[in-house]
Chain A
Amino acid sequence: MTAMSAHAHDHSHDHGHGHADSHGHHVDLSESNTSMPAGWGKTASLGLLALGVILSIATLVPVFTGMSSTAEDVVKAAKHAMASYHTGFMVMLGLTLGPLGLVLVLNLVKAGWAITIRRQLENMASLVPVAVVLLVPTIVATMIKPDILFKWMSADPAIRGDALLQAKSPFLNPAFFYIRLAIYFVVWIYLATRLNRLSREQDATGNKQLTVQAGLTSAWGILAFALSVAFVSFDLVKSLDYHWFSTMFGVYFFAGNMVTGIAVLVLTLAVIRSTGRLNGLVTAEHMHDVGKLMLGFTVFWAYVTFSQYFLIWYANIPEETAWYMTRAAGGWEIFGPVLILGHFIIPFLIMLWRGSKRTMGIISAVALLLVVMHCLDMFYCIRPNIYMTFGEGVVKGKLGLNWVDITGILGPVLIFVGLLVRKVGSGPLIPLKDPRLAEAIAHKNYV
């Protein structure tokens, strides 16, 4: 096939944009630059997928092997395994939700510079149906033993008789819980599928109306997204400790997802660029802006996380501080400082510099750090709940680290990565005929 060379033109109507091109930016829009080589990543994808599945299953090993002798031990091991797997699941879900939110915003604000990076976000968001599959083990386990993860589902009369739980039961009851989950997933799958379809349809037809339609969908989509993301964090994370409540929690969950979503976007782009693809389409200029977004959301995460912690610490009301007290003893106390450093201070100080945003190696390293930190963050929210003990009027936590914690988290995440690799290799790497493509090609940071 012939490599076509396109010269992004300085359109007379394109005010203030698209001029850098007229001075020599010849951009290759041929298949050899805008899609991965045929068959790329097939083996890697399969390998990662298989590894993910194996690790997920391996998480259950302690439950069925002789490692647990008594029935009580089996339950304990199962709870531990489920909590770890749930952590991995929440990270995986976040990796589809963060990008979905970003696609909605980019469509809504008509971002020109981001056209060439949008497809990878769409790829990540399109994996949200996989989350339904990955949620099945949790639901099945919950059916077998209701309080395996969600203590509020327990049949234990001591818990059922809890006045606080009874007050919440119109919301925290299994039937409504499943209905809500179904609603969230319907909303997300619809949004992700529709935006993906519009974008890919435009690859073929170049119809500009599709961009307008995507904008309209994003307008109501962002509302549905905001509400569903807030409530899914209540259902799947906050309700694990059903006594505790915080109005900020949804925003906290959203911020973490955005950071990781962008971090994985950076890693995806790094992999694609390492094969020499997207030459002139995703440049240091684009990475610079993606880096700014990553920095911005890192700061936002820190702001939200600190505000939530700080208000609870300051007011010192027992019903709220319990959550943090659990996480301030028994080995969990190390997580706070690690998250402050790794999820905020280190990435912040590195990403502040222009050079780090424009150097693929540095930005990818920071992105990797942020993904790891998000896993720890989710772990910090989910895992302490299984070893909570009450005594002397204080809630105490216990770390109880086990190899299951690694496999449980890695399993769903690797399944996601495996599928993402396949997705990346399967079609054009950018929206080929987006009306604002020229703007993205000409994008440059002047200051």
Chain B
Amino acid sequence: MSAIHPDQSTAAKLSGALRQPPEPEYNPQTGDGSLVDDPSVRALLVLGRNTTFADITETVCGYIEKGPGRWFWPTFFVAAQVAGLMPIMILYLIITGVGVWGLNNQVDWAWDITNFVFWIGIGHAGTLISAILCLLKQKWRTSINRAAEAMTIFAVICAGTFPGIHIGRVWMAWMLFPIPNYNAIWPNFKSPLLWDVFAVSTYATVSALFWFMGMIPDFATLRDRAALRLMRNPDSGQMIPLLNMRADRVMAIAYGLLSLGWRFSSRHWHRYEKAYILLAGISTPLVLSVHSIVSFDFATSILPGWHTTIFPPYFVAGAIFGGFAMVLFLMIPARELFPGMKALITLRHLENMAKIILVTGFMVGFAYSMEFFIAWYGANRYEQDVFVNRATGPYAWAYWTMIGCNVISPQLFWFKFCRQSPVVIFIVASFVTVGMWFERFVIIVSSLHRAFLPGEWHMFYPTPVDILTFVGSCGTFLTLFLLFMRFLPMFAMSEIKAVMPQASPHKH
């Protein structure tokens, strides 16, 4: 029995006898105050000690009610023009035939499937941030989950387009689904391409449900605010010309319909939270399964460079990696453009995401090296040649771009000042986004262009149609995201409020 047990000072501290460390203060030299190093202090998730619930509502609803600012419509106009390229190119493709693409006998999957895997990968971060971070009780997720979920939906829309248009006879696309037909033909359920159809459509549906469900309470807040303004002044709001209605009336009706009559009842909240956690719980294996199934498209084959067992988790790690990069790529500029957003997405949030990029970058690097090692260890000539060809062959530039962007550039995040600088994070995020596109390009094209028979070796060169379709898909993505920022609640207000210190019912 020791006289003074070491727990006594802990006990004293816990009982409040010892002085507690002071609250983090804003200091221009050390950042916004969210970058506390003290392990006993949890960083503020919303900046400003005196921030109230009403401030959050005002900030987030303000983006919709007051509009995001003068920059918005010009940006939207440009993005929409770029997006317009996509339907034009697709129309041209359908009218003319797949010959307008650069595919050839040997490289019969290239640009289109690269884009598909790239976009579907981007589409994974949303559900990841929402679902996995939710299960892991990472409260910092509340500031970025909504935008990330929106990103998911839009990326999946872009992704889904590519396999749809690459099947050749686009008008037969309905045969991808098990629809009873006159010839009594059913799809082949043993084909990875069919699994893709189910995986991607399930993912799109479930992500949309998850996204919508999260927005129900926020829709209700927007509805109530519009209703309140109308109650006080029936003529409030700008006149909207085409509808011949006041903006507030339109908002009350539109958000009212979308909110499904949510009235913030605790009995409802209880079931809502349960359903939300169930959705999060089922979405987590869903995310894993979707990208795993995408990887099965390649890994079930016997093509050297494609058939390797680590593909499923490797693709998933790559998706997280690329998805987080895309979140940062979009949210860092948004943080500058929207008033008050820096209090919601703090430097700590950015730092956390930078760390995730570093970790997942290593996972991807681990998979790259494991593939190389096992290609050598497996002692299969064909497998070895594919990997040597990747690093030294005609597509070596793509391979080294991938390595540079995905493995080397995130190493900057070992340094604290890089993790804490939005500019550096933005640059690395752009590199990673590019690198992840090249990763898919390397996997697909470098494996295909030199398969078993040298007589069939061919190079792949993208045509302008290929390139413009991809550019158009970027425009589509951006346009949809801009519309989201304009008309839908960009932050999960109810969730942010719930993680604020004054939300605890035991605060006195």
Contacts and interface: CB of A to CB of B under 8 A. Distances in A.
B492 to A, nearest CB: 15
A4 B371 CA distance: 57
A398 to B, nearest CB: 26
A43 interface: no
Interface residues of B, number: 70
B285 A6 contact: no
A227 interface: yes
B507 A19 contact: yes
A248 B40 contact: no
A223 interface: yes
Nearest to B374: A247
Interface string B489-505: 00000000001110111
Interface stretch (B4-12, B237-245, B392-400): B4-12
A119 B503 CA distance: 32
A356 interface: no
B235 interface: no
Interface residues of A, number: 78
Contact of A433 (B10, B20, B24, B296): B10
B7 A31 contact: yes
A217 interface: no
A10 B506 contact: yes
B300 A245 contact: no
A325 interface: no
A7 B14 contact: yes
Contacts of B367: 247
A311 B309 contact: yes
A178 interface: no
Interface in A181-217: 203-204, 206, 208, 211-212, 215
Interface string B360-391: 00100011001100100111100000000000
Interface string A387-410: 000000000000000000000000
A307 B10 contact: no
A315 interface: yes
Given A7-B16, A22-B506, A447-B277, A212 B137 contact: no
Contacts of B11: 4-6, 29-30
B499 A16 contact: yes
Interface string A80-115: 000000000000000000000000000001101100
B308 A247 contact: yes
Contact of A245 (B20, B24, B301, B374): B374
Given A6-B14, A247-B370, A317-B302, A311 B5 contact: no
Contacts of B14: 6-9, 27, 29, 437-438, 441
B42 A212 contact: no
Contacts of B377: 168, 171, 234, 245
Contacts, number: 187
A164 B379 contact: yes
Nearest to A313: B300
Interface in A214-251: 215, 222-223, 226-227, 230, 234, 245-251
Given A4-B7, A11-B20, A292-B135, A311 B296 contact: yes
Interface in A44-95: none
Nearest to A245: B378
Contacts of A437: 10, 14
A284 interface: no
A353 interface: no
Given A245-B377, A308-B309, A311-B307, A15 B362 contact: no
A330 interface: no
- With most chain A CB atoms within 10 A of its CB, the pick from B6, B21, B23, B367 is B6
B451 to A, nearest CB: 15
Interface stretch (B94-102, B248-256, B310-318, B331-339): B310-318
Interface string B136-150: 111100000000000
A208 to B, nearest CB: 5
Given A15-B44, A432-B6, A303 B39 contact: no
Nearest to A441: B14
Interface string A414-447: 0000000000000010001101111101000011
A16 B495 CA distance: 12
Interface string A159-171: 0000110011001
Contact of A311 (B22, B42, B311): B311
Nearest to A222: B359
A296 B377 CA distance: 32
B45 A12 contact: no
Contacts of A5: 11
Nearest to B37: A212
A299 interface: yes
B118 to A, nearest CB: 22
Nearest to A307: B312
A295 to B, nearest CB: 10
B169 interface: no
A317 to B, nearest CB: 6
A158 interface: no
A16 B139 contact: yes
B469 interface: no
Contact of B313 (A168, A171, A215, A251): A251
B42 A15 contact: yes
A227 to B, nearest CB: 7
B314 to A, nearest CB: 8
B55 interface: no
B274 interface: yes
A339 interface: no
Contacts of A230: 366, 370
A9 B17 CA distance: 10
Contacts of B471: none
- With most chain B CB atoms within 10 A of its CB, the pick from A110, A247, A447 is A247
B292 interface: yes
Interface in A1-49: 1, 4-17, 19-20, 22-23, 27, 29-31, 34
Contact of B5 (A27, A31, A215, A251): A31
B86 interface: no
Contacts of A141: none
Nearest to A27: B14
Contacts of A310: 296
Given A16-B139, A245-B374, A247-B310, A311 B500 contact: no
Given A113-B137, A227-B366, A307-B309, A16 B5 contact: no
B39 A211 contact: yes
Contacts of B136: 109
Contact of A1 (B5, B9, B288, B299): B5
Nearest to A20: B506
Given A13-B42, A19-B505, 4 more contacts: A1-B1, A10-B504, A234-B377, A311-B299
Interface of A: 1, 4-17, 19-20, 22-23, 27, 29-31, 34, 109-110, 112-113, 163-164, 167-168, 171, 203-204, 206, 208, 211-212, 215, 222-223, 226-227, 230, 234, 245-251, 292, 296, 299, 303-304, 307-308, 310-312, 314-315, 317, 319, 428, 432-433, 435-439, 441, 446-447
25 contacts: A1-B1, A6-B11, A10-B506, A13-B41, A14-B41, A15-B42, A15-B45, A16-B503, A19-B505, A112-B42, A168-B379, A223-B362, A226-B366, A247-B367, A292-B135, A304-B312, A311-B296, A311-B299, A311-B307, A311-B308, A315-B307, A317-B302, A319-B380, A435-B40, A447-B273
6 A-B pairs with least C-beta separation:
A435-B40, A247-B310, A248-B309, A167-B379, A6-B11, A19-B506
Interface of B: 1-2, 5-12, 14-16, 20-24, 37-42, 44-45, 135-139, 273-274, 276-277, 285, 288, 292, 296, 299-302, 307-313, 359, 362, 366-367, 370-371, 374, 377-380, 499-501, 503-508
